[in-house]
Every structure is written in C-alpha cells, then in structure tokens.
Structure 1
C-alpha cells in the first residue's frame, strides 16, 4: 500500500504541471488579456470625465490602446509581467506554485491565497450541505427502491428522481426564486448571502434559524439534480447484490432483513458509491457551486472564479484551478484507500501486477 501511495503521489506532480501548463498557454495567448482590461477601464474613466475635465454625457466606447498614452501601456505591460518572455513567465509560475505561492491578484490588491481564504467559507458551507444531503437522501432512498423494486413506490419515486435529474441546478434555482424568492408568487426566502445584516445581534437559536433560512434555496437547487444519479446507482447496486448467493445463505441462517441489508449487502454495495465519491465531492464543493453562487449572489469561490475569468485576472484563475486540481487528486487518492476500508480483500499491488 505504501508503494502504491508513493507512486500515486509522484503521478500527481506531472498531472498538476500538465493542467497548469495547458491553462497557462490559454491565458497567455487568448485575446483581451489583463492589459486590455485595464486599458478599457482607463478609457472608460476618460470617456466619462471628458477630455476637458468636464463630465461626459451618454455612454462610452472602448477605443483600444490608441486612446491611452504609450507609456501607460508599457507600464501596465510591465506591471502584469507581460514584458517578459513566455518561458520566463511560465518558469516563474511553476517555481511559485511549487512553494505554494499563488501570487497576487491583478485588480483586487490581495494575494490569491487571501482571496481564496475569504471566499472559501461560503463554498464549504454550500458544498457541505449539498454533499451530506445527497448521500443522506440518495442511499436510504436507493435501498428502499431496491427492496420494493417493481412496486408503485418504486415507480413514483423513479419518476420524481428522473424529473429532478433532468432539471439542471441553475434552472431549478431560477424556478425556486420565481416561486419562493419574491419573483412572482411568494416572498419566503432571501436571495443574497448566507446570513442577514443583523446576524451578530441574534441569539444562538436565531443565528441557526437565520442561516438555515438563507441556505435553503441554494442547497435545494444543488441537491435535487445531484442526488438523483446516486439514488439510481444505489438501487441498481443493491438489486445486483440482493440476488447473490450469500444473501440467500444469510437469510437461511435466520438473520432479519435489516441485518441482511445493512450488515452484508450494504458493505458490498458501497464500492460503486465510493467510486463516485471524489467526483461528487468536487462537484458539490467547487464545480457545481459556480452557477448557484452567481444565481443566489453568494460570494464564494465559484463566483470569484467567474468574475476573475471575465476580468482576465489570471493569477486568481490559475490559483483557484491549481487548488481545485490538487484537492481533486488528493480526494481521488483517499477514495482509493476507502476501498480497502470497505473491502480489505482489495490489494493494490495485485492490481498493478
């Protein structure tokens, strides 16, 4: 096992380098970089104030680098490091990331690590509830469907699950806003942030209630489309295990149905669920939070990544991607070791040979 661990850790290094190299090439050569973004902001300010110092009227149009002094363009190019050769910029990025130095944001006057720390709490909160509720709902429901396969309960729950799976999370989020967020029907839940402005003044029970009140809609939008797949996977896995010979043997020994399901079948059915554990974790905590955070105005990592891409804030884009990739690789490694905890018969050395 330790040999396997060392091998996987060594494989992570070229994987990280490959992901960062590909992203670096895209960000360095895509049209409209941070220099053009900064020039557009300067051009906007000049157009609004007027060339004679008076306030401009009407809208403004980006005139490109022709509307900015050449010296300012050179200063911005040097500020963002684009005056250096591409290979030098690439090597600087690799050496910084090897020391876990993610650099500084171009436009936020903060280091990337500080920005990630500030936004991480929102993404963790959304991801934790999404991930936890997904498994708390999907596994028991999948087991119940497997035990009652072919009944009316199985039919109607499958219909509900498939409808939930067919509706994307952001579409369901819009529907929830229209229904319960003061859109066109009921104004029941808030649409911004995880807490109210007076949260610090509330009692302990009031803080818990206020937090759950704010998190209800975004978590619902995230969970419904996520747990549907896990429910069907759990059902199919249990159905396959229930038909095996050891289940008949356990029942013949006089074990109750609950003991057969949760002591014998459940342990063997866990392997396919653990296989999808890393993907579910990453989707709940990072990937799937982008649209939900944007839709419900939650200031988390998803919204930070989206705004950074729009503003061409490349250190933040690269830094968040580096962090997501690293966490994903580590979670995948932990998922592999979870196989051994569930089924000690699994031997990594035997698989490799």
Structure 2
C-alpha cells in the first residue's frame, strides 16, 4: 500500500499542473479581460470629461501602465510560471476587483457553502440509506414501486426549479419562510436560542431544494447493493443457522452492502464544504462559494478563478485518494497490487 500511496501522491503533481495549464491557456483567449475592462471605462470617462469623440483610445503610456497594473505586461509563460510558484507556497494571490486576498474571500464565503453542503449531506444520507434498505427488503412491492417513482421524480426536477416553486409558495404566498439571506438583519441582537431558530428558518427552503434531488442516487445504490448481498451464499447460511431476519439484515448484509456508500463518504463530505450551489445561492441571495466562482468568471477576476480552481482541484485529488484507501479500510480483501 505504501508504494501505491506514493505513486498516487506523485501523480497529483502532473494532474494539478495539467488542469491549471489548460485553464490558463483558455483564459488567454477569452476577450474582455480586466485590463480591457478598465481601459474601456477610463476611455469613456476621459471622453465625457474632455468632450472628445466617443471611443477615442488612451495613449500608449496609459495603456502600458494599466497592463502592468494587472501583470499583463509580461509574456504568458512567465505569468504562468510565477503563478505556479505562488501556488506552491499556497499563496492564491489577490483579487483584481475586491482588493482582498483570495484566501480571505474563500474564508468569507465558505460558511454559507458549508451550511448548505453539510445539511444537504447529512439529511440526504439519513434519508437515502434507510430508504434504500427498506426498498431492498420490500423489492417488487407497492412500497418499492411508489418510492422509486417519487425518488425518480425528485431526481428529475432540477433543484433550481424546485427552489423557485418553494420560494413562490412558502416564501411568497404563504409567507412561512424568508425570501433571502442566511440570517435576519437583526441576528446579532438575538439571543442564542433565537439565533438558532432564525438560522434554521432561513436555511429550510434552500436545503430542501438541494436534498430532494441529491439523495436519489444514494437511495438506489443502497437498494441495489443490498439486493446483491441478500442473494449471496453467506446470507442463506446465516438463515439456515436460525438467525433472526433482523440480525441477518442489519448485522451481516448491511455491513457489506454499505461498502460502496461508505467509500464515497470522504468525497461527499469534503464536497459539502467546497461545492458551491450556484443557482440555489443566487435564487435565495446566499453569498457563498458558488456565487464567488461565477462572479469571478464573469468579471474576469483571474486570481480568484485560478486560485479557487487550484485549491478545489487539489482537495478533490486528495479526497479521491482517501476514497480509494477507504476500500481497504472497509474491505480488507481489496489489494492495490
């Protein structure tokens, strides 16, 4: 396992390099960069002040100063190499437009994404695993058919569409839940108990919109894994020994059936922290990682875009390695050699 772990760790370096290189090259061909945006704004402003014709360009010295301000006075290979050296020391750079370090922006936006992700993760698994077991035990029954229908319908409805429906019905018409934000404006003046209630009050609709479509795959995977284990010889042997059906299912079958579910825990759990739900955050006015990434692409804020890409890619690669190692931890029969 040590040799396998070493190989996987070494493979992270070229993989991360390839991801950054491809995205950096794409960025070079995208029009309307930060320098071009500032040049356009200054040109229009100067023409309005001087009364000159619209679209008159600035002089070469001003253009050179603006490009140097954003570092575009250097050739692309040099800028890429400089970016790699910064990332190697975990310096993600500074935003072009917000005058803040990328690390600071991530820390500011992460609590919202953590709130959405963790609630979605725990509620999804708490619903999906018991539901999958119940469906496997009652396979072919009316309960199995109806729950499969409901799960597939929930999976087919996009979270954004469901969020709009929830917002219109429960936030607009019935006014049971707030329309925006993670907390109320007077949250700081509330007691601790009132803060918890206010937070749960705000988080209910966005989490519901995310949960209904996210647990379908886990529920069906649990059911199929459970059915596959029930048909194996060791289950017949356990029943032949006179063990109770509940003991057979929950002590023997469940342990083996949950192997593909448990090995996916690391990726799902880490994803809960860093996977921004862009449409849900936009719909409910939640300023999280999804909205930050989207705005950085629109505004061509390259340090934010590439810095968060580097951070999340690195976390994703390490998490994938941990998920693979979990196979050995859960099932000792798995050998990487």
Q: TM-score, normalised by structure 2?
A: 0.93
Are 2:98 and 1:98 aligned?
Answer: no
Tell me which residue corresponds to 1:37.
Answer: 37
Would you say how many aligned residue pairs link Structure 1 and Structure 2? 335
Question: Whole-Å Cα distance in 2 between the matches of residues 210 and 102 of structure 1?
Answer: 35
How has the CA–CA distance of structure 1 residues 348 and 256 changed in structure 2, closer, same or farther, with 3 Å as cutoff?
same
Tell me which residue corresponds to 2:334.
Answer: 346
Question: Whole-Å Cα distance in 1 between the matches of residues 271 and 20 of structure 2?
Answer: 20
Tell me which residue corresponds to 1:302.
Answer: 290
Contact 1:103 1:112 in 2 (8 A): yes
Contact 1:283 1:289 in 2 (8 A): no
How has the CA–CA distance of structure 1 residues 258 and 37 changed in structure 2, closer, same or farther, with 3 Å as cutoff?
farther
The counterpart of 2:163, out of the listed 163, 173, 176, is 173
Q: Deviation of residue 138 (structure 1)?
A: 0.6
Tell me which residue corresponds to 1:10.
Answer: 10
SS at match of 1:348: coil
Give the root-mean-square deviation of aligned CA atoms.
1.9
Equivalence map 1:5-154=2 (5 Å): 5-42=5-42, 50-51=48-49, 66-154=56-144
Q: Deviation of residue 69 (structure 1)?
A: 4.6
Tell me which residue corresponds to 1:319.
Answer: 307
Q: Deviation of residue 149 (structure 1)?
A: 0.9
Q: Deviation of residue 179 (structure 1)?
A: 1.2
Question: Whole-Å Cα distance in 2 between the matches of residues 69 and 292 of structure 1?
Answer: 45
Contact 2:152 2:216 in 1 (8 A): yes
Are 2:187 and 1:199 aligned?
Answer: yes
Tell me which residue corresponds to 2:215.
Answer: 227
Tell me which residue corresponds to 1:266.
Answer: 254
Question: Whole-Å Cα distance in 2 between the matches of residues 288 and 203 of structure 1?
Answer: 29
Q: Deviation of residue 77 (structure 1)?
A: 0.6
Flag as ranges the 4+ runs of structure 1 deviating above 6 A: none
Contact 1:37 1:312 in 2 (8 A): no
Contact 2:113 2:289 in 1 (8 A): yes
How has the CA–CA distance of structure 1 residues 46 and 225 changed in structure 2, closer, same or farther, with 3 Å as cutoff?
farther
Tell me which residue corresponds to 1:256.
Answer: 244
Deviations 1:272-322 (A, max 9, x none): 224544554465444451221122111111110011111000000001111
Tell me which residue corresponds to 2:316.
Answer: 328
Q: Deviation of residue 258 (structure 1)?
A: 2.3
Structure 1, unmatched stretches of 5+, are: 54-62
Point out which structure has higher relative CO (alpha carbons under 8 A, 6+ apart). Answer: 2
Question: Whole-Å Cα distance in 2 between the matches of residues 159 and 308 of structure 1?
Answer: 39
Q: TM-score, normalised by structure 1?
A: 0.89
Question: Whole-Å Cα distance in 2 between the matches of residues 81 and 153 of structure 1?
Answer: 62
Question: Whole-Å Cα distance in 1 between the matches of residues 130 and 194 of structure 2?
Answer: 31
Q: Deviation of residue 254 (structure 1)?
A: 2.4
